[in-house]
Amino acid sequence: MTGAPDDVHPSDDDLLALLWCPHDHGDLRPADDGVRCVACGRTFPRIDGVLSFLDGVELDDIDRREQASRDAEANWYDTIFGTYTNLVEVPTTAARVGRPDGPILDFGAGTGRLTVHLARTTGRPVVAVDYSLGQLRRLVPRCAGLPVLVVHADGRSLPLRDGAVAAAVAAEVYEHFRDADRRRVLRELHRVLRPGASLSISTLAYNLTYRVWRLLGNTGAKTGEHLLGGDFFYVRQTAREFRSELEEFFDVEEVVGIRNFPVRSIAAALDRIPVGRLGRRFEALMTARGHRLDRAWERLPLSPLTGFFLLAGARRRRGDGASGR
């Protein structure tokens, strides 16, 4: 598949070769209603175009509460990313993996804004993994006609073979794992990436604004259990904290701050001034041109202190063992 011409999409059955049975690593074969493991005979159903490896028993109560919260927010999720945000965040995240020589994993793919961009711009197959069926149901129609395999699974235990993918992105998801789970996630990403493969991964930044909030007594500035009305854990990290966790498994090439200009918040504030539709004009200007300045700002050493998110470009070392360093 890796050597397939760009205009020939691999079929779902070809992409199945990237996966294995999460219980015993057996090969998977297409079955009427999904796929079947040749070793243990378990079947994994295809639900609305999503191959599901999660029947819920793997998750504890906290996981299930957070998963339900993701399902519930699926319908409005895309609306929180204005055009401006996507213009900045999607290409900069994708740029860290370039055009890899094989399939790409979109880890915690959500409703698929990265998945669709990667499949269109690289021509490579993309495996989109998320544990929220509600989010993936919105991703499926968005990726119609593109070489995308949609997988419902827990990111801490991926049904992908060792070294299955040539690159991975993980946008806005790392910050939602608790300490021990972040290690499990990195171990899994390391395992499924080929040696030398690149990883583009972002996390919430503990930037200047949140440091001031913290000084003012707001403990939720650093970590908490609820974000944007959702029931899920989050942590904000400094560049140093993020880098040191990644370095246990990867060579980290850079950590930058992204989404440096809070354009929508500034526009909303300007809109309160009752003349000249200032907010809308500001947002339109930033969308037309200002996003380039936001991207240029990423290269400044202070961007980890101004960005809303941190973005790391990392690489699985060539020649290291299955467990990293």
Among 20, 44, 84, 131, binds ligand SAM (CB under 6 A): 131
How far CA 189 is from CA of 186, 198, 290, in Å, comes to 5, 10, 34
Residues 214, 216, 221: CA angle, nearest 5 degrees: 25
Other Cβ atoms closer than 10 A to 55: 11
When binding is defined by CB under 5 A, the residue of 15, 18, 21, 258 that contacts Zn ion is 21
Cα–Cα distance, 280 to 303 (Å, whole number): 26
Choose from Zn ion, ligand SAM, none: what does 13 bind? Cβ within 5-8 Å by kind: none
The three-state secondary structure class of 115 is helix
Q: From the list 9, 46, 70, 182, which residue makes contact with ligand SAM (rule: CB under 6 A)?
A: 70
The residue (of 22 and 155) whose beta carbon lies closer to ligand SAM is 155
Residue numbers 31-90 binding Zn ion by CB under 5 A: 37, 39-40
- Between CA 33 and CA 44 the distance in angstroms is 8
Q: Which does 23 bind (CB under 5 to 8 A by kind): Zn ion, ligand SAM, none?
A: Zn ion
Instruction: Please tell me whether residue 130 binds ligand SAM under the rule CB under 6 A.
Output: yes
- Applying the rule CB under 6 A, the residues between 109 and 128 that interact with ligand SAM are 109-110, 113-114
CB 187 within 8 Å of CB 324: yes
Distance CA 37, CA 122 (A): 31
Question: Which of 6, 13, 24, 55 touches Zn ion (CB under 5 A)?
Answer: 24
| 91-110 residues near ligand SAM, rule: CB under 6 A | 108-110
Distances (CA, A) of 247 to 173, 207, 266, 321: 18, 21, 36, 14
Binding to ligand SAM (CB under 6 A): which residues in 145-174? Answer: 154-156, 171-173
How many residues touch ligand SAM (CB under 6 A)?
17
Cβ distance to ligand SAM smaller for residue 115 or 207: 115
List phi, psi (to 5°) of 60.
-90, 180
Which amino acid would we find at residue 203? T
Q: Which does 37 bind (CB under 5 to 8 A by kind): Zn ion, ligand SAM, none?
A: Zn ion
Contact call for residue 290 and ligand SAM (CB under 6 A):
no
Angstrom distance (rounded) from CA 133 to CA 110? 9
Q: Which is nearer to ligand SAM, 80 or 269 (CB)?
A: 80
| Residue 226 binding partner per list ligand SAM, Zn ion, none, with a CB distance cut-off of 5 to 8 Å that depends on partner kind | none
**10 contributes a contact to ligand SAM by CB under 6 A:** no
The DSSP-derived string for 69-95 is HHHHHHHHHGGGS-HHHHHHHHHHHHH
Query: Interface residues with ligand SAM (CB under 6 A)?
Result: 70, 108-110, 113-114, 130-132, 135, 154-156, 171-173, 176
Query: Interface residues with Zn ion (CB under 5 A)?
Result: 21, 23-24, 26, 37, 39-40
